Structure 1
Amino acid sequence: MIFQATEVNRAYASKLSDTTEVFLAASRQQLEYTANILSDKMADDVFLSDEANRLKYQTDSFNSVVISDASGLTQAASPETLNLVGKQLNSAGSLEALEAKRALISKPYISTIKNLLIFISAPIFDDQHHYLGFLGGSIYLRKPNILSKILGEHYYEDGSYIYVIDKYNQILYHPQKERIGTFVNNNDGLDEIISKKEGGLLLKNGQGIEMLAGYAIIPSTDWIIITQSPLESTLLPLTGIMEKVILRTLPMTLAVFLFIWLFARAISRPLQQLAERAKSLDSPTVSEDIEKINSWYVESLSLKRAMLSGVKLIHNQIGELRRDADTDPLTGVNNRRAFQFKLKQLALLETPFVILALDIDYFKRINDNYGHGVGDDVLKQHTQILNRFSRDGDLVARTGGEEFVLLLKDTSSADAFITAERLRSAIAEETFGIVGHITASIGIAAWSADSITIEKTLSLADQALYEAKGQGRNRCIIATPEMAS
């Protein structure tokens, strides 16, 4: 339970890290694009003001936007209530941007109007690459901002929470806003978190509470996202179960044995039947079998109810274990085992379906060029795209290293091909971090109750996939009867 909770926190921290990194990259790209437009417009005050307002209000990425010339004199600002136009900028972020003359994300600092903020900036150059100034957007860390929206989607239950620190232990995000800008102290796991960048561990927080923490770094800023949940709340269900079993069954068992001793044969039959059923608690029909037992006296009836409660608990735990066994630990989608079970289920119900067999093109190059960590991130982001194309009743599964399937229920081959093309285009248009763009090849095969076997359908999907790769990759191929032969 501890390992599972720690891994869940680590995976969630990694997911938030990826999401934040995508936002920061998009923000920088937005600023750099606008900075290129401004290269020949620095003398047009109206245009500068319009661009500042557009950046501020079009995407809600920044709390404020400023355009400065090469000397640090403000040319335009949004919102206009900042009253910065015509004034000399001397904040830490502005001075850093003027000195560096390159795109950057500043360290957190206190602005001239007493806001704790980070400053994302892009330089402005003319056609001869002469430095003209910079364009920058501010994110106010203590006020509602886009980062708090991204990180604030976590459900804070049972004492769990998320916070973000920089490499100096300064808190940049925390559900308790008064702690933003302060520094983390008395946290015995912080050194390990900063040194390892991503993982999970058991630690004591500043209040001395034992917490299960997962953490991940945001590469472009070296900020660390930490998700924590109390150890006590993680183990509470197990403690409660043990207490209930001890407190409820022990007195009842003593009473039943005493009653059997006094009235032997008259009451032995229901207990014998219950004992026999207890030997097969993992049977799917055990609850129905227990219900059929005629427990005609109070003690036997109580024991019967206790056993039913125990059976329900065991089946719930078995269900949780089965879900773990059917889930791919990296991407969180179904694995090959779950996929095979779904196929058998649909075949039993005679429900038609179409298999989309997907393979990321040249995935080995990603691992060779960028490392397996980046490759894993590509697989996770790729999975998110697949999930967007999955309806209720469909199934997404990872069947190999970079091999996935999308099982479309009650879908024709023609509609499946349309879906596959949309999916292929979505993958090709997606930006996968430092990797950039990737492509995927897709093989399509359909099954119905009066057609070929499921095994043949799987083989056809693979043949169609190989055909797609043979024709140059980044394409969708529908299996044909010739492939079957």
Structure 2
Amino acid sequence: MSSGSFPRPNLRTLLLLFTLLASLATLLNDLYVTYRVQREILVHNVLEANRAYAAKVALSIGQSLGADLDRLNYSAKVLGQDFPSQQRRNDEVRRLVEQDQSFNTVVIADAQGEVLASYPPVLGLKGQTLRSKEPLKRRQGMISPAFSSLAGNLIVFVSQPIWNSQGEYLGLVGGTIYLRDANALNEVVSKHFQKDSDVYLVDGQRHLLFHPDPDRVGQVVGANAAVDAVLGAESGALQVVDEGTQMLAGFAAVAHSGWGVISQQPMSIPASALRELMTRVVLGIIPMSLLGIVLIWWAASRISRPLSRLADLAERMENIQGIRAVHAWYFEAWRIRRAMLMGALLTQERIGTLNHQALSDPLTGLANRRALDDCLRDWQLLGKPFAVISMDLDHFKQVNDNFGHDAGDKVLTAFARLLRQNCRDRDIACRVGGEEFILLLPLTSLADATDVAQRIRRSMAALDVPPVGCTTLSLGVVCWSPEDDIEATFKEADACLYRAKQAGRNKVVAAVHEHL
């Protein structure tokens, strides 16, 4: 009867493996959640910082442009009182340029757009016509989109209408801001500083009025959600794509102008900070993880130790004291120990019953065939390996014929006593026929069983039983394991016994293999 192949992992290994897998899954989940939460926090913080920064810059630009409109409005009122005076016009344009460097040039034009005065005079704008008639048509304070001036400069034109005291429209006074030159607007934008963020300014026609890369000033911004939103007079923050790069952008509209400020930072910067943070988290977790592994190993060993000990003792169910000594400190182990103790006691009782049945042989006092069959059935059920010694007295028929059956019975009784003297308490000695005997030795190797057989053979050969004298013995030795067939094993033992007789009797013949 085969008990199947042995499973490789033991309980401690399984506990350790499953606990480590559960801990690893929990750790990976925690790291993933930490990564997601930290990423959302970092992205939110960067977006909020850029939104606040864009709002701050937009406010500064709006205040600067509002001040420019106020100054031009004041000049328009002054000019309206004495518009025909060329000296007054010349003095006013000069004052506006030199006052605070807000404008690169200042012009005064009549209602038809002809330039009546300009400063600085080196540009030679006097007598020329304004390229854009929009300020003349609107006749109100305005800030133009970016365009190329008469002198070929990329400019923004800030203007106010001029009215006389009778409410007659006379023309306008306007200041130009050169987008590529130094002026108050560029100073307002560039003096602010946001770490790792770039700031740019767009007008209502999507022209770049300011950019950290001077070569991009004047370019038209393509598809960009932040630009679309800010030109719709919105303020906020978005994740956008700018020239193929993922950006975190904050934006705010500029008062008085229809312009917008965008402050943006590449997503790679917070992503790099997040990787550094996660690296530090992992490095911080490693020491505690190692300590956790040690604690898990200790706990797995402590939990599995009672069951491992019980499993060892289960192979030797007769060791009741060893089972009782196991420290079953948790409920399941205690139940298993109790069941094993009950099984061991029942087994001992059954073995005691078998020993009692063995006494049913009226002549020798050894186990009979029934006792042998019951013992084999129990050992086979337990998967308990054993050795078989099959024995037969040589020429026993001649003893009965020559000395009588009473003398033959004396020989059998003397051999039974000799057999018990050479057995252990756990061995089973049986008389299975007239002069045929079998000795079962549990948990015994082929070599040890052969030594026992030789000892029995020598003792019998030296035993003098009056009036018969000395009688010899032939023996066959075989081992059985749970993978073997019991009937085949006993046939093999008989075959070894037969070979011993064929070899001249008074011999021990052992099988050529064992399965222990």
TM-score (normalizing by structure 2): 0.46
User: Larger RCO: Structure 1 or Structure 2 (Cα < 8 Å, ≥ 6 residues apart)?
Assistant: 2
TM-score (normalizing by structure 1): 0.49
Bigger Rg, which one: 2
